[in-house]
Every structure is written in C-alpha cells, then in structure tokens.
Structure 1
Amino acid sequence: VGLQYLSGDLSGGNARCIAMLQAFQEVVKDYTTPPQKNLNRNMTAKISSYVSFLVECRPLSISMGNAIRFVKNRIAKLPITLAESEAKAVLQSDIERFINEKIIVADKVGTACVAMVASAFRVPVLVCCEAYKFHERVQLDSICSNELGDPNAISKVDGREDINYLDGLTNNANLQFLNLRYDATPSDYISMIITDYGMVPPTSVPVIVREYQKEHLLV
C-alpha cells in the first residue's frame, strides 16, 4: 500500500484511507500474540510501525490520521477477557463498519474555486463531507500543511496543444512552478455541510469534532 502511495497509483483521501484500513484488516487477520505479550499493546505497536512506513512513503491526510486513531482506540478498548480469535473478529468488524459507514456512504468532494465563484454570485454552496475527515486543527492557508504535485502538470492542459503560454518557462532558473495537491476553502464560502450527522453550518464543525471523538475515540 505504501509503495502505491509513493508511485501515485493510489490517490485521493478516501481511496488511500480505505486501502490503509483494509491493509490493517489483513494485519489483524494474520496477527498472533507473542508469548508473554499483551494483545492490546503489542498490536498497537505493530500498527504504529506500519503507520511509520506509510508516512515515509507519503504524508498522511487528516482523515487517515483520524482513522488510525479510531483503530488504535478500538484495540485499546478490547476487553482482556476476549480470546484472541474473538478480539481479532471484533476489530476486523469495527474496521469494516468504519469503512462502510464513515467513508463509502458519502464520497463527495468540492473545491475552493467553485465555492468562491458561487459565493460571489450568491449561490448557496452545500458540501458533502464525511465526519471522519473533520479535525480540530485550524488551517489558515494552503501552504503550511500540504503536498506538492508534479510542477510540470500545471504548465500544460491535456488535449489542448494550443494552450502553451507557459512553454519554456519550466527551465527558467528564476521561476519555480508550485503545484499544490490540496486547497483550503474559507468557511465563509460554505452555506451548509452535509455529513453523516445531518446538515450543519460550518460554525458547528467543532461540535461535530467533539461528539465524534466521544463516539469513536473514547467509547
């Protein structure tokens, strides 16, 4: 999975997160607790080592970080009275439920440019977003926390050879193209967010974050 991240064969927040969680399911399936070891702690350590490898291949998205926290917390909350086979079955089921309920149910995406233009023309902007992607981090711009794509990709338009305004500029030592993979959409441009918790205004996102953590991280 990590090599697929690195090569770009797996792209998009949801696709990467699902692939990671499915890999975790395989890890759980093949897991055997070593002698004199505790399942909860040992499995958490193994998951952490795999996460470190994924980070080396490509930085984690916020949604992937939330999914990892979910898995680790589910491992930590497994009753010690459960047999290993039962604990593994419960964990695999929890991961499968997370994939189905929190990711596949609403696989939508919007862009900052669309929201900005719509706002300028007073057109309401409704965003479909899975709650597992919400995070308490405040992001003020698209520069500090982002990933860089191929800079040459923004100098050409596929299928339009006539659009060549930037030809030759890629070799200019005083000019460097910047291709950001993600953008940040100001909340002022968003009218309503449609989540698996219902429709909420952008100002209610902190409430969703708090309730989501209670439901999936603390239970």
Structure 2
Amino acid sequence: MSEEAQPIRAPEDATTAQTQPQSQSQSQPEQTQPQSQPKAQNSNKSKPQSKDASSKTQDTSASGEKKLTNKELKELKKKEKLEKRAAKKESQGIPNQTEQSKAKQQKNQQQQGNQSNGNVGVKKEPKIVNKVPLFSHLETKEERNALSSSQAQVLHYVHPAILTLTSKYASYSIVGSIPRCIAMLKAFQTVISEYQTPEGTTLTRNLTSYLGYQIDYLKTARLLSVTMGNAIRWLKQEISLISIDTSDNDAKEDLIEKIDTFLKEKIELSDKLIIEQASNHIVNGSKILTFGNSNVLKELFLHNSKVLKKQFQVIIVDSRPLFEGKKLAKELTSNGLKVQYALINSITSIFQDVDTVFLGAHAMLSNGFLYSRVGAALIAMTAKKRNIPVLVCCESIKFSDRVQLDSVTLNELGDNEDLVDCYKLNHTKKSSVAMKNFINSYNETEEKQSQQQQQKSKKNQSNDKEKETTNEKDEFPLQNYQKSPHLNILNIMYDATPPDYIQKVITEVGALPPSSVPVILREYKAS
C-alpha cells in the first residue's frame, strides 16, 4: 500500500513546484486555486458540469435575478397584454368580464347557501335545463317575442292596423300565404292613406323607411311568406318610381290604385286561369285527394261541382296542430260535395281507387322543389309509388329564386305548446258515451248475480275514479317537457318535395313541369 501511494503524491509535488513562482506574484486568495485542480483532473466527466454551474452562478450574481425560459417570457407578455386591454376598457367605461363572472359566482353561492339554510325539509322543484333544440339555427317563438319587446321604442312608428294584423298572424286566425299577403296589402293601403311626410323629406325617400318599421314588426309574429316578400319588393319599386314633382295626395292615390290592380291581376285573375286549366284533369266519378287547405283548390272543386256539374269525391287529408283541412271539409260539405276526411296517420289505407292528387303550395323554388305544409312530401311520395299523378296548383307570385334541397336549412318553427296541448286549437275533449253505457250495463248484471260481486265492482269503480282523477291531472303528459333534459319538441311548419314526385305545376301561364320554374320567374320579373 505504501508503494502504491508514492506515484500519486509525486504529481502533487510537481504541480506545487510549478505553481510556486506564480503564487508569489499573485495575491493570497488565488493560492487556493491549485488545491482544487487535482480533484478536477481525477474526474474528467465533471468538468463541463462545473463550468455550467459556475456560469449560472455568475449570471445570477451579476443580474441579481434568475433568467426566464421562453414559456415564462410568453406568459409574462400575455399578462401584460391583458392588463393593457383591461386598462383601456376601464378608461372607456367597459366593465371587466372576469370581475363580473366572479361577482355572479359569489351571488349564486350566497343564494344557494341561503336556500339550503332557509328551505330545510322543503322539496326542491326540478330546474329548467338549458337544452339545445333540434333546429337551433331557426328562430323560435320566444326569440320573436324578445324582438317585439326590444322594439318597444319603435312602437310609436307602427300603425294600429299593423298591430292588429300581427296579433292575427300570431294567433293563426289568418293562415295561408295568399290570405296573409292580401291582408298585408290591405293594411298597407290604410297605412299609406294616413301617412304624412315630415318636413325636410320627400315621400319617395321617407315612405320606404316608414314601411320598413311596419314590416319589421310583422316579422315578430311570423316569418314573411314568399308571396309577401315578392309583394313588398314590388311595392318598394313602385314607390321609387314616383317622381318628386307629384304631390303627396296624388302619389298616395296612385299607390292605393296600384295595390288594387296588383291583387286583381296577380291573385284573382291568375286563380281563374288556374281553375280553367286544372278542371281538365277532373272527370265524372273520379276520386281526388288533397292535403290541408288551399284557396285555389277550394274554388276549383266548387267550380267543377256547381258550374260544370261534375260528380266526384274529395278525400281531405289533415294533420295537427292547425287542422286546416277541417275548414275545407265544412265548406265543401255545405255546398253538396262528397267529402271523406282522414288524418295523415291513415295514409296507407286512403290511396285505394284514388285517381289524382291535387296539392297547394306555399312556394315553388327555382330548382323545382315544392315548399309546402308538413306532410305534402309524404303524400307525394306515396302517390308516386302507386303511379298516381300529383298536380300542384300555384300562382306565379309564389315562385322564388331560392334553391333548397331540404327542409332543414330554411324553415319556420311553430309554437311547441301547440303540440303539448292537443286541445288548444279549435278542439274540445269529449268522453265516449258507448264505453260508459257498456260499463253501467256490466255492473248491473253483476249486481243481480251476488252481493259480493257488487262490493268488488264498487271497489273497482272507486279505483277507476281515482285513476280518472290522476289522468285528468296528467292530461298532457308533455306539459313539463322543459324540465326534462332528454326531451325536445319540434313543431316544424313546412317541408320540401323533390320535383321527381310532381308531374305538373299548373299556373296562369300554363301546365308545365317543375323544371320550367326558372322560365316563369324570368317572365314574372320582366312583367
């Protein structure tokens, strides 16, 4: 062991001998450096680590702070930007969203704590869940009501005739694209007759903006139909063509007369031409099927029965919640026509011995699709499978430049309560008399047999009465649908029928295939 230790001490002596002349010229603290050198020479791997450590200590000692990484620098920059934005918002008077959210959370926590302390032993009602509806991109009735409430400042610009008309639209007392358009144009006549141009403006410039307030308020009840949109465009164009030199009274009279001629030419005369062309497809002894209610089809059936004295049968298919077919059935039966009324759920058994299918239209799109009441596409599809011709009676004012391949992108949502309350629109609940008579007779026979059976029957009757009372309480099982998180209700108004299911479209221009709709649109715009 002593022999092995000697070669280790030899280099230490050599190093000390080499460093002695240098140590004399250097200061005393530097003399301690050679003692650390042999340790560094024994471990060559530790040299880079000691250099890095010394460099880090020098940086920290020089600046007094640690250097930050790239991530930490980015976070600091983000914080500085957010602080600058918050300072700008405070200078502009805009409240801070983070502070508002914190305050709301604190309020909610306090309210929950108060309720938990004060309402001990009280049953909690289920909360209304914020659900995403099926057709969330469409405007609901609640959103339209919110728009009407937000337009309270504009109410003094709205005419009383428009206020009454919106209430009729909202209550579905005026239904159908043509009746709604006629009522709107007549209301515009009263608005124009009572209009007075303010000082510093002209009628051509101010009347269009004044009518804009009326139209915006009409939209709060229901969406504008295609016929209403076409009529509004025509009216605005006629107002723009009025010269500045004409007096206000003359301009008002001209507009009122033009509205009357528009109603006669585009609706009354076109309906007469459609009836003449469609009556060729009705034969004695034929069976015709329709869906819902249409003014053109009603006049067509009455014309063929009274004027042409044809004998035929009409099958009216109807659906809830509006039940428009009931009005058509009442008017046709009062005029002596043979009518069969059925709901759309019995569609498979209705198409026996049907010759033709006549459908009304809400609009005809430029790609040949029929945009009509929900259920029209189902009827056209079943008729096509049974090789029954489908004819659509439609005025040219109902034609639209819009292209639509489904009924999802653009549609109208009705009130969900119409589907929940099934006796809301023109319905009354009636108990079945036959069932009551049957139960009474059955109880009488059992009373004659034995007294024991009488007691059992009385118990059963009492249980039935209790069940009836519970059923009366739960009369509408969907009435609490808003509180259930997994239930959505969809009351959609229209659907789209492809042109493959339609044989002809009968208009005032003629009976044409659905592919010729763009041609009729060009002629309508040119006129």
TM-score by length of 1: 0.84
Structure 1 residues 160 and 208: alpha-carbon distance in aligned structure 2, compared to 1, 3 A threshold: farther
CA distance in 1, matches of 2:510, 2:238: 25
CA distance in 2, matches of 1:78, 1:209: 25
Aligned equivalent of 2:509: 197
The answer to whether structure 1 residue 146 and structure 2 residue 411 are counterparts is: yes
Structure 1 residues 52 and 186: alpha-carbon distance in aligned structure 2, compared to 1, 3 A threshold: same
Aligned equivalent of 2:494: 182
Amino acid at match of 1:47: L
Question: Mapping of 1:6-21 within 5 angstroms?
Answer: 6-21=170-185
Aligned equivalent of 1:114: 379
Shift of 1:173: 4.0
Superposed CA deviations along residues 62-120 of structure 1, whole A, max 9, x for unmatched, are 22111110110111112334332222122111112222332345333252222222211
8 Å contact kept, 1:125–1:192 = yes
CA distance in 2, matches of 1:34, 1:150: 40
Supply the RMSD in Å over aligned alpha carbons: 2.5
8 Å contact kept, 1:169–1:175 = no
CA distance in 2, matches of 1:33, 1:83: 11
The SS at the match of 1:4 is helix
Give every structure 1 segment of 4 or more consecutive aligned residues whose post-TM-superposition deviation is greater than 6 Å: 157-162
Structure 1 residues 112 and 22: alpha-carbon distance in aligned structure 2, compared to 1, 3 A threshold: same
8 Å contact kept, 1:102–1:196 = no
The SS at the match of 1:183 is strand
CA distance in 2, matches of 1:169, 1:86: 57
Report how many residues are paired: 211
Q: 1:125 aligns with which of 387, 390, 393?
A: 390
Shift of 1:152: 5.4
Range with greater deviation from structure 2 (41-50 or 78-87) = 78-87
The answer to whether structure 1 residue 33 and structure 2 residue 201 are counterparts is: no
The answer to whether structure 1 residue 51 and structure 2 residue 363 are counterparts is: no
Q: Which has the higher contact order (CA 8 A, sep 6+)?
A: 1
Amino acid at match of 1:23: A
CA distance in 1, matches of 2:166, 2:179: 13
Structure 1 residues 32 and 95: alpha-carbon distance in aligned structure 2, compared to 1, 3 A threshold: same
Aligned equivalent of 1:135: 400
Range with greater deviation from structure 2 (167-176 or 28-37) = 167-176
Amino acid at match of 2:519: V
Structure 1 residues 113 and 100: alpha-carbon distance in aligned structure 2, compared to 1, 3 A threshold: farther
CA distance in 1, matches of 2:410, 2:250: 40
Shift of 1:132: 0.9
The structure carrying a bigger helix percent of its residues is 2
Q: 1:80 aligns with which of 221, 227, 244?
A: 244
Shift of 1:3: 2.2
Amino acid at match of 2:414: G
CA distance in 1, matches of 2:497, 2:419: 20
CA distance in 2, matches of 1:153, 1:161: 21
Structure 1 residues 90 and 15: alpha-carbon distance in aligned structure 2, compared to 1, 3 A threshold: same
Question: Mapping of 1:151-162 within 5 angstroms?
Answer: 151=416, 153-154=418-419
CA distance in 2, matches of 1:37, 1:208: 38
Range with greater deviation from structure 2 (117-126 or 167-176) = 167-176
CA distance in 2, matches of 1:100, 1:137: 26
> Which structure 1 residue ranges, 5 or more long, are not aligned?
none
CA distance in 2, matches of 1:192, 1:148: 29
Q: 1:42 aligns with which of 183, 203, 206?
A: 206
Aligned equivalent of 1:23: 187
